[in-house]
Amino acid sequence: MPEFTSAEHERLKTAHWKLWGPYLADRAWGTVREDYSPGGSAWDYFPHDHARSRAFRWSEDGIGGICDDQQRLCFALSLWNGRDPILKERLFGLTGPEGNHGEDVKEYYFYLDSTPTHSYMRMLYKYPQAAFPYDELLAASRARTKADPEFELIDTGVFAEDRYFDVEIEYAKSSTHAMLIRISATNRGPEPAELHLLPTLWFRNTWPWGEEHDGADRRPNICRAAPDNDASHACMLAEHWSLGSYTLVAEGSPALLFTENETNTERLFGTPNPTPYVKDGINDAVVNGRAEAVNPAQTGTKAAAHYRLSIGAGETVTIRLNLIHARAEPQPATDGAADTPAIHLPPSAFADFDTIFAQRKAEADAFYAEIQPGALSDDGRMI
């Protein structure tokens, strides 16, 4: 056996390096694990239209997302182009009965790089600037037979004149319990275009199902936090009884939006909501301008940092975040406001950000260089 000496091979000897990874599903709606229908019709029981409003029980989904190895705390990117009827929080596709060739995802996304320990990860998502053609994709596919070709997203014309965003999502672990996150959006179109980026942090809903073993009924919490040594960034603190405390630091001053990962029963089933703040609250606040849909106390089980960008033709805008395992001390409330936990950010929250990214990328390249045959072409190595 050859002796491998790369930094990634050394990390593989330590289990904790796999605590965080790309364990978040691309799709949790329309799956058997979420199906409680009497006849086992998973396709119809939990459709895509329910996913933004209805809490999953067994899994979560998102675009380019990550979570811990027990999927307690999740992170993914949501987007809005100012034209879609809903936030782009997850991939869209057709169920088995809807597609003329069965189930079929109708998105363009590419997983470009990852190490076995997920010390470095990179993916690309292509997001149209025009309204996403949900209804057109569904209607055209239903009208076709099995003998017809599939109707694809590009066939709708939403990518005409290159009017779309290339959104690259990258992760680099600075330690076993800390993840640097870099999101770069490039306007491929001929004119400036608006793009909302909402890096979102949330807890999988495990608490209302009547299970009391292993603390399953204990509700975690995410709230706004105040760094005691750096007030130039937006921060939120996520606290879970078994996972511990994590701080998400969002560079700059994005608005922080908070709601609960609870089903909007009023929208879906016509019954009163158990809480005024429900799973689609951030969607309603951003897309429909309903400020009352998010919690003004800035606490909940789902939260997002809202970046509203105007990106010039050919321009790239990058936002940076840091997910850090951290402790917090509650500070006394003032003037009737809710308590805001104070946290102490490490000096390198962003100071060493680009250096660590470059190092992890170089380590990923070195890892694959050791195990790939020398005769491969450059294209072959990328595959």
Tell me if 288 sits within 8 A of 53, measured CB to CB: no
Tell me the C-alpha distance between 372 and 380, whole Å: 10
What does the pLDDT read at residue 230?
67
331 pLDDT above the threshold of 60:
no
374 pLDDT above the threshold of 90:
no
Mean pLDDT calculated for residue range 327-354? 63
Domains in the chain, number: 1
DSSP 237-289: EEEETTTEEEEEEESS--EEEEE-S---HHHHHSS--SSSS-TTHHHHHHHS-
For residue 1, being part of any structural domain is answered with: no
What does the pLDDT read at residue 337?
44
Lowest mean pLDDT among 237-246, 286-295, 337-346: 337-346
pLDDT tens per residue across span 13-71: 776 899 999 999 999 999 999 999 999 999 999 999 999 999 999 999 999 999 999 99
What does the pLDDT read at residue 333?
43
Output the 3-class SS for 98-162. CCECECEECCCEEEEEECCCCCEEEEEEEEECCCCCHHHHHHHHHHCCCCCCCCCHHHHCCCHHH
Mean pLDDT of the chain: 91
297 pLDDT above the threshold of 90:
yes
Q: Which two tokens stand for residue 343?
A: 């946290």
314 pLDDT above the threshold of 80:
yes
For residue 2, being part of any structural domain is answered with: no
For residue 37, being part of any structural domain is answered with: yes
Domain enclosing residue 171, as ranges: 7-371
CATH number at residue 62: 2.70.98
For residue 376, being part of any structural domain is answered with: no
For residue 312, being part of any structural domain is answered with: yes
pLDDT tens per residue across span 64-123: 999 999 999 999 999 999 999 999 999 999 999 999 999 999 999 999 999 999 999 999
Q: Which two tokens stand for residue 292?
A: 């009352």
What does the pLDDT read at residue 372?
82
Mean pLDDT calculated for residue range 360-369? 94
Tell me if 126 sits within 8 A of 164, measured CB to CB: yes
DSSP 186-216: EE-SSS-EEEEEEEEEEE---SSSS--GGGT
For residue 378, being part of any structural domain is answered with: no
For residue 80, being part of any structural domain is answered with: yes
Count of alpha carbons within 13 angstroms of residue 123, beta-carbon side: 17
Residue 322: which of 365, 352, 299 has the closest Cα? Answer: 352
pLDDT tens per residue across span 115-144: 999 999 999 999 999 999 999 999 999 999
What does the pLDDT read at residue 137?
98
For residue 60, being part of any structural domain is answered with: yes
Mean pLDDT calculated for residue range 286-295? 98
Mean pLDDT calculated for residue range 170-178? 95
Residues 277, 225, 59, 169, Cα dihedral to 10°: 110
Whole-prediction pTM: 0.93
Residue 3: which pLDDT band, with cuts at 50, 70 and 90?
A: low
Q: Which two tokens stand for residue 103?
A: 């189930």
What does the pLDDT read at residue 1?
43
Please tell me the chain's helix, strand, coil percentages from 3-state DSSP, rounded to the nearest 5: 20, 35, 45
pLDDT tens per residue across span 188-237: 999 999 999 999 999 999 998 877 666 677 899 999 998 766 678 999 99
